Amino acid sequence: MSNPFIPGYQPVPFPAPFWLLQILIVLGFFLHALPMNLVWASGPVAALLMGFNHRNKDGFAYQAGKRLAYSLPVFLSFAITQGIVPLLFLQLMYGPAYYTSSVLMAWPWLSVLAILLGAYYLLYIFKLKESAFGSKSVVLLWLAFALFTGIAFLFVNNMTLMLSPERWPTLAQGGVDGFALNLSDPQLIPRYLHFMIGAFAVTGLGMGCFGIYYDHCNKPYSQWWIRNGAGLFLGATLVEFLTGLWFMFSLPKAATAAYMGHDLVATVVFGASAVLSVVALLGALMAWRSGGLRSMQVAVGAGLLTVLGMVVMRHLLRVMILHPILKPEQIPVSTQWDLLIVFVISTVLLAGYLIWLSRLVYSAFEKPPADASAVSVSGIV
């Protein structure tokens, strides 16, 4: 399949073997997806917890919402830092398609940075001025959530447009004005909803991690986090199954068939992800009923592996759709060992820094509230 809108690769070899680049783009996006999902869904969860419980600021629900909200700037810094790696490898491996889709929607795409800065400021204004705004402070979280929702919509537009080269000539008719969006693509809405609802599931796992952390110092508070986090994960994941099916059958028939047995790797990854999601659901169900630490740990472990499986499936989808027009595996390789060693060392140091920063954020939290009577399975009322 030829497409005059797709430029050729630059006449330079890849700096590392293609198999290594594929591993790095998958792991990089996985490490980006976790904090990204937390940023998007933790805002409305925190706003609901604080908004419905503002009359009982010493209770578990309000304090949990406050902790989630105060963590958002750190989650966002993680998401931005970790997002650089997969974006760089995406440009390297699939640049001809990525650059074309980005040019077609240039102005909305360039606006992402400004929107992101606005959302970042809102999170810090909340953190620094929450007491001054009082109960109205949650409006800042809702505004930030609205901005993040817009960013997510633009990203899904670009990623689906990148996988729809047959639409490019139509969108470019009459000249490229930089305002083209992929609104007519049947994948757009189900893909968007699938990832957005999945963010609430990841946030549920994040709340469970808070509960695991607090287990050593305040058992009732720990159980509140675990039960409500598990409940959020259960509800979001069940809805996620429906949007996932919608997304699956909105794909080209060949891609859907690949996950259903026509491609061994795609089928194995899809099957493993399905099994892991069931294990995560069972663990979350037991954690929701009992507030048990071990059950939550099982849910978190299986849930994270499920997310990793979904990231792999996402990459396989990109490979399958673009393979007729882009074959990055055929690009010559000239391994630059010096740069590769620097990259690995930098990655290890960054991981160590993020672990240290996470521990610092946790230790900065004030002592958990001792109001055991405030435990609520719903967490909102």
Residue % of the chain over a pLDDT of 90: 65
Please state at what angle helix 219-250 crosses helix 60-104, rounded to 10 degrees.
Answer: 30
Query: Could you tell me which of 190, 171, 173, 193 has the C-alpha nearest to residue 182?
Result: 171
Angle at 317 between CA 197 and CA 254, to 5 degrees: 115
Q: Structural domain tally of the chain?
A: 1
Is residue 8 one of the residues assigned to a domain?
Answer: no
* pLDDT at residue number 373: 43
* pLDDT at residue number 379: 41
pLDDT band for 217, please (50, 70, 90 cuts).
confident
pLDDT band for 362, please (50, 70, 90 cuts).
low
Is residue 10 one of the residues assigned to a domain?
Answer: no
Average pLDDT value for the chain = 89
* pLDDT at residue number 1: 45
Report whether pLDDT(375) > 60. no
Query: Between residues 131 and 197, which one has the greater pLDDT?
Result: 197
Cβ neighbour number for residue 222 with a 10 Å cutoff: 22
Is residue 4 one of the residues assigned to a domain?
Answer: no
Cβ neighbour number for residue 356 with a 10 Å cutoff: 10
Distances (CA, A) of 6 to 99, 107, 115, 326: 9, 20, 29, 9
pLDDT band for 368, please (50, 70, 90 cuts).
low
Segment 262-284 mean pLDDT: 96
Q: What's the predicted TM-score (pTM) here?
A: 0.89
Q: What are phi and psi of 276, to 5 degrees?
A: -65, -35
Query: Could you tell me which of 102, 104, 103 has the C-alpha nearest to residue 87?
Result: 102
pLDDT band for 225, please (50, 70, 90 cuts).
very high
DSSP labels, 332-377: -B---HHHHHHHHHHHHHHHHHHHHHHHHHHHHSPPPP--GGG--S
Gap between the terminal Cα atoms of the chain = 57
* pLDDT at residue number 312: 96
Listed ranges 79-83, 305-309, 368-372; the one with the highest mean pLDDT: 305-309
Print the domain residue range for 148: 20-168+179-374
Q: What is the dihedral of CA 362, 366, 371, 376, to 10 degrees?
A: -40
Q: What are phi and psi of 13, to 5 degrees?
A: -75, 160
Segment 127-137 mean pLDDT: 87
**CA max distance for the chain:** 67
Q: What is the dihedral of CA 111, 115, 117, 119, to 10 degrees?
A: -170
Helix, coil or strand: residue 14: strand
Is residue 348 one of the residues assigned to a domain?
Answer: yes
pLDDT band for 131, please (50, 70, 90 cuts).
confident
* pLDDT at residue number 372: 46
Segment 180-198 mean pLDDT: 93
Segment 336-364 mean pLDDT: 77
279 contact partners, CB below 8 Å, separation of at least 6: 298, 302
pLDDT band for 55, please (50, 70, 90 cuts).
confident
Is residue 12 one of the residues assigned to a domain?
Answer: no
Is residue 333 one of the residues assigned to a domain?
Answer: yes
Report whether pLDDT(274) > 60. yes
Is residue 6 one of the residues assigned to a domain?
Answer: no
Is residue 87 one of the residues assigned to a domain?
Answer: yes
Residue % of the chain over a pLDDT of 70: 92
